[in-house]
Amino acid sequence: MSATQHNSAHTVSDLAQDASKVPQRAAIRHDWTREEVEAFYDMPFNDLLFQAQIVHRQHFDPNEVQVSTLLSIKTGACPEDCKYCPQSARYDTGLEKERLLEMEKVIQRAKEAKQTGSTRFCMGAAWRNPKERDMPYLTQMVAEVKSLGLETCMTLGMLTRDQALALKQAGLDYYNHNLDTSPEFYGDIITTRTYQDRLDTLQHVRDAGMNVCSGGIVGMGESVSDRAGLLMQLANLPEHPQSVPINMLVKVDGTPLDKLEDMDPFEFIRTIAIARIMMPASHVRLSAGRENMSEQTQALCFMAGANSIFYGCKLLTTSNPDTHEDVLLFKKLGINTERTRDYSDEAHELLLEEALEQQQAPDELFYDATAGKTAGKQAETA
């Protein structure tokens, strides 16, 4: 290596370190205004990403990503009318409804998730809210999944104060309940429950001492001001949600939003960066929609401050990139995943080996859980 090369490598690493030291770590704020947030959307892209990187490095290892795995424990036939959702009984999406899953199946899937390197297992149900009669079964499920050494998360719809307490007592670590969009746009998307209902559930979860997972969806035809409004609502909660999922709408045939124009990926990346700046200490999850994103878009999302994803070829009912693809992408980017206590590195090495082998045989691209869809990555529509 020449002296110049050595110097420049040294300088780059110094710069990376200095970048985290230059501006003081800003105070955690809960008083964001719409104008401030909208101004972030108008900033030059590079300036925005640079600011997000600085904030990200002040709070997190920039090369570490948390991974969760989702499982739908009760699928379809939901009475709510969320216009984006394939599980609403009001839209004909061809989805087969399923009863509440048996415990053994849930445990089996949780074990598999842990084996692939997930640290959190998130169980979702297509409900308006859990029924009292289901609570003992749900609390048992939490306890059993937790005993595997995984963090637990559930998303079951609205919760009462007592239900939140019961889940917390059973060992539930996180509860996911999204605000979805701005208060102003909300009525265009959901009419069967109010924005205030959602805020109330978040308060019950916080009061019970659980970690809040709350975010939203972009690409539903909302304005930039609505995106700003969603982020402002999240960041102005009494505590920032510990986990903030940013979903890109997955357009499912039969839902009222299935014919919408694709969102510009740069606008999505901006939303991640702004979430990072506004909620510096929260995990920001690059959530649904990765199946339609190029590796480069995902890499820019990580650069913008996303530090969590869902592993596994299925989200709840729609497809997600195969874990082999994610392991390869992480390898290319030098990203490490958080590990469970007794995570086996052998399992990770095996996944990587398999991924590299599959790369050699492009005709046999990755297994896709949702039959009918081409298994390879779809072209990103910019």
Interacting residues with ligand SAM (CB under 6 A):
84-85, 87, 124, 126-127, 155, 157, 177-178, 180, 217, 247, 249-250, 252, 288, 316
Residue partners of 371: CB distance under 8 A and separation at least 6:
none
| 287 is a contact residue toward ligand DTB (CB under 6 A) | yes
Q: Are 56 and 62 in contact (CB under 8 A)?
A: yes
| 250 is a contact residue toward ligand DTB (CB under 6 A) | yes
The DSSP secondary-structure symbol of 122 reads: E
- With CB under 5 to 8 Å by kind, the binding choice for 177 among ligand SF4, ligand DTB, ligand SAM, none is ligand SAM
| 248 is a contact residue toward ligand DTB (CB under 6 A) | no
Task: At 28, give phi and psi (nearest 5°).
Answer: -70, 125
Which residue from 210, 234, 316, 327 is in contact with ligand DTB, where contact means CB under 6 A? 316
CB of 318 to ligand DTB, least distance (A): 4
Q: For residues 150 and 250, which CB has a smaller minimum distance to ligand SF4 in the complex?
A: 250
- Cα 167 to chain centroid distance, Å, stands at 21
- Name residue 174's beta-bridge partners: 153, 211
Of 242, 80, 234, 77, which is closest to residue 153 (Cα–Cα)?
242
Question: 56 burial class (0-12, 13-18, 19+ CB within 10 angstroms)?
Answer: buried
Q: Provide the mask over 62-91, with x wherever binding to ligand SF4 is found by CB under 6 A and - wherever it is not.
A: ----------------x-x-x--x-xx---
Q: Which residues are known catalytic residues?
A: 78, 82, 85, 122, 153, 213, 285
Q: For residues 220 and 273, which CB has a smaller minimum distance to ligand SAM in the complex?
A: 220
Please report, to the nearest 10 degrees, the dihedral formed by the alpha carbons of residues 157, 181, 235, 156 taken in order: 10
C-alpha distance from residue 223 to each of 43, 117, 185, 277 (Å): 17, 37, 9, 20
Task: Give the interface with ligand SF4 as residue ranges (CB under 6 A).
Answer: 78, 80, 82, 85, 87-88, 126, 128, 157
Task: Give the interface with ligand DTB as residue ranges (CB under 6 A).
Answer: 70, 86, 124, 155, 176, 178, 215, 245, 247, 250, 287-288, 315-318
